[in-house]
Structure 1
Amino acid sequence: MSKLRFAYNIGRVLGNNLKSQCSRTTTFKSYSSNPNLIFSFVILRSFSTGKTQQNIRLSKHESIDNFSKVERPASISYFTAKPTYNDFIIQLDDLLHKHRTTPTKLIDKNAPPTLWILKQHLDEKLGLRLKTNQYRLITRKLHRLDKIMFEFAPELHNFLDLFRRYDPEKEKKDIEAMKTVDPYGRALAIGRRKEATAQVWVVEGDGHVLVNGIPVADYFPLLKDRESILYPFQVTGLLGKYNVWTKVKGGGPTGQAGAIAHGITKALIIHNSDLKPILREAKLVTRDTRVVERKKPGLAKARKRYTWVKR
């Protein structure tokens, strides 16, 4: 009996605290002994600090929204695991439903197929990591939208342009054709290596090199980093004939030096396209994509294991 009395007192204390803190609570009476019968009313029980208690009876025609205002999410995919992906699928389905009666194109078997954006680029655009089956579902819906005649839906054409993948070789040639020397004789190029990115301006001069406003000898204390930066000039025999000013960020000294060398190589090709075969033979034109291999769980480094001790 003492344990029951103690539990009863604890329940009374918690109940009084709840009554004093809550100005109103809602009690739903929805079910009866008959599972097929649902009550048509709701009882709202209001608590106060005193001993007064009031019951409000609502019929089935009255709304309870006035008593419980809950903020609703803007999207129906708010409570899903990937709301961005689900919203995008809903958007594609809405476009298909909207243009379900729009005339479609005639199928031309000789025409090249439409190439859509690559999976990794679509991941960056949506801000998530798609699975292969999710990417295929998106491309199937884009193919269905691409069959619609754009004369009757011009806004659809602009929407699909965001997800088209153009010929990379043709796009690369167009970009190279647009790169020219500015009126001041400067050639701008972007170089990348590992996690480093460098903006490089190359102009004819006396061979001065500035990195983030600092001389290259002060910015890179190691000789091998300075040699890698000047290697494009050494290969082409133009050492001391061009001035370089660069802004570099990200990565470490080795990555930044490689990014600057890559940018200098591209800038020299803009100045003189005849240097490209020489620089390509020295393996300077193509970006070096090698990076440090990631560490593996349970290993000391990428592949190094811990020393096994029997005891």
Structure 2
Amino acid sequence: MLSAVRRPLQAALRSRLYATATTQATGSSQRYAPPGTTSARSDAQNNPNAGAQRLDEEEAIDARDWRWKDKPDSAAFYTLNSGYYDQLESLQRAVHSTRRALTALELLPLPDFARASLPTLTPYWRPRRDMSELFDNPLSTRHYADLIKLLRQLQSYYNIAKTAGHSQFANTLADVLHIYEHSNKDQILARGTRKLARFDKYGRTYSVGRRKTSSARVWIIPKLKADEASLADKDAGREAPTTIDHSLPTTDVLVNGRPLRETFVQAAERERVLSPLRLAGVLGAYNIFAISRGGGTSGQAGAVMQAVAKGLAEHEPEMRETLRKAKLLRRDPRMVERKKPGQPKARKKYAWVKR
């Protein structure tokens, strides 16, 4: 049955193919031409400038239909974060103009000793999340770091202008920096810094210091001046001394109930203990009593030094920044390196024996 159906179809297909081939063969003498080609060819032959006229007409149509776009207000309009790049460019311009102004005032370049004497400012910038809300676009860590770098540079110029007495110039920079500062900066700074030592009712400070495995507790007692001592003697009913001692003031240091020279035999360790007093310029103004435990003499000397620096930072608040820059208020993080298995010490190796 299927063969009976296939035969008429095959015959029809063969006849159709034969008819098509015959039609193509009979019409092979006439080549096919698309509509409008004959007229276009005849127009080109009659008018050689017809093509140019047609192009002008098409351009005129495009010009009528074209709607011109407004020029973007920002050069960073086509970036993903145009607000951030606009602010970054404005800060860069502010840094360059400020540098030129300070150079014209002969305040830049600043010598190293003058830069070190500048007052230290405590910046409190907006966190990255708040900066993202300010720019209406999330900021990456790299973008935030670039922004903070420019702000710190601008703040250093503000510090120079303020110290030099150019108040109007400094106020202009302060207005720019205030935009990027934390909204709660005044409240945070009003809380005050952490107390490094505490006073007792006698005016003595108690502080704790640590170094390696050693720890030290230190009491710093202010020494009475000559006039205060005479008043104290009068109040106590004692006669004031008639002779005045013109010798240089000395500081009495007792460590574990013994003098400093007996506790720390090496001169370097004694100098380490007295270094905060020398740096603050108050050697002879205070007496020190310390109790140190643990470790060796080097670690105990470092622990006493840190505790003395903490106490002086409370007795002499104006010298706190100087002590901080000298890294005397921070504990030394270095520790003894551990011994490794297969080695006699932390770094030492056994001698290699060939046989």
User: TM-score band (shorter)?
Assistant: 0.3 to 0.5
Which has the bigger relative contact order, CA under 8 A and spacing at least 6? 2
Q: Give 1 or 2 for the bigger CA radius of gyration.
A: 2
Q: Specify which structure has the higher proportion of helix.
A: 2
TM-score, length of structure 1 as denominator length? 0.43
TM-score, length of structure 2 as denominator length? 0.38
Q: Specify which structure has the higher proportion of strand.
A: 1
